[in-house]
Amino acid sequence: DMGDAMQRFACVPTFASDAFFKDRDRVRAAMTIRNPLDSSKRFDETFVPDPDKKYFVHADLAQKHDKCAVAIAHVDKWVNIQVIKDYNQVVPIVVVDAVAWWEPKVEGPVNLSEVKQWIQNLRRQGFNIGIVSFDRWQSFDIQQELQAVGMRTDTVSVAKKHYEDLAMLVYEERVAMPHIPLLLEEMSELRITDNGKRVDHPRKKSKDLADAVCGAVFNAISHTPKDLNPEIEIYTKPISRLAEQREDMLKLDSKKIPDDV
């Protein structure tokens, strides 16, 4: 953990001590694709789902105060990477395809029927939907209605363990997310609370989009069958970045303490 080492051993603070994502630049670097939705939450005509892929959805429901957010993700491929010498590990490359959100208005709360209809329409857009999951808040009725039209549903309460999986993907550059300023803000402001047991947002902030993305990524990894014969992939970017950071540490070590200190 480069940021933690810089703070504890070199006395160079690079992040808030309770921040969940220690490196905001890594989070920003993972947001490499465009969100294919317009202001009316309609998909761009150029966006075509891959018929050979299975897509997974997670909805973070809210009505009165928070946003209601829905994210779609899929496993692009499984790759075999060399962790250490003579030891390989099969890991997923994940794409977060789209994020939609609804905000409560002065005239009334979020219409959850509109959210449900938007999710139902995903199949008309060409998405092969694997599972649609919801947080626990007021999701029973929507799950029942989606099941009635043949969609599989589940309940997923996004917790710290799910965010830790997402953080691993971010740090190892194995996830591509839409570049959404609000999503970047939410993920950058996540904090570790409750003596390290929870990941939460600061007071008067939110993490609705972040929860939706985290849940969708978890679904994709959990329910996409692992390829037993994946392509061999060697990651050079994270390795080269660590080398650069070690060089920075050596430069710090070479500096002499001034005589007047």
| Pairwise pLDDT comparison (99 vs 229), residue with the higher score | 99
Q: Is residue 233 over pLDDT 70?
A: no
Contacts of 6 (CB under 8 A, 6+ apart): 12, 13, 14, 249
The SS3 assignment for 60 reads strand
Between CA 97 and CA 126 the distance in angstroms is: 13
The pLDDT tens digits of the residues spanning 38-86 come to 999 999 999 999 999 999 999 998 755 678 999 999 999 998 876 666 6
pLDDT at 249: 47
Q: Is residue 8 over pLDDT 90?
A: no
pLDDT range class, residue 246, cuts 50, 70, 90: very low
pLDDT at 65: 65
What are the E-state strand segments in the chain?
Answer: 55-60, 68-84, 87-102, 129-134, 153-155, 175-176, 191-193, 198-200, 231-232
Percentage with pLDDT > 70 across the chain: 76
| 8 Å CB contact between 102 and 68 | yes
Between CA 152 and CA 17 the distance in angstroms is: 40
| Pairwise pLDDT comparison (107 vs 212), residue with the higher score | 212
pLDDT range class, residue 24, cuts 50, 70, 90: confident
Q: Is residue 138 over pLDDT 60?
A: yes
Q: Is residue 91 over pLDDT 60?
A: yes
- Please state the rounded mean pLDDT for residues 223-249: 57
pLDDT range class, residue 119, cuts 50, 70, 90: very high
pLDDT range class, residue 243, cuts 50, 70, 90: very low
Number of helices (H), then strands (E), in the chain:
8, 9
| Pairwise pLDDT comparison (3 vs 35), residue with the higher score | 35
Q: Is residue 5 over pLDDT 60?
A: yes
Query: Closest Cα partner for 48 from 100, 98, 92?
Result: 98
Give me the phi and psi of 221, to 5 degrees please. -70, -40
Residue 239: both structure tokens together: 């390795």
Between CA 236 and CA 255 the distance in angstroms is: 29
| 8 Å CB contact between 192 and 20 | yes
pLDDT at 110: 82
pLDDT at 250: 47
Question: Mean pLDDT across the chain, nearest whole number?
Answer: 83
The angle formed by the CA atoms of residues 241, 191 and 157, to the nearest 5 degrees, is: 105
| Pairwise pLDDT comparison (193 vs 228), residue with the higher score | 193
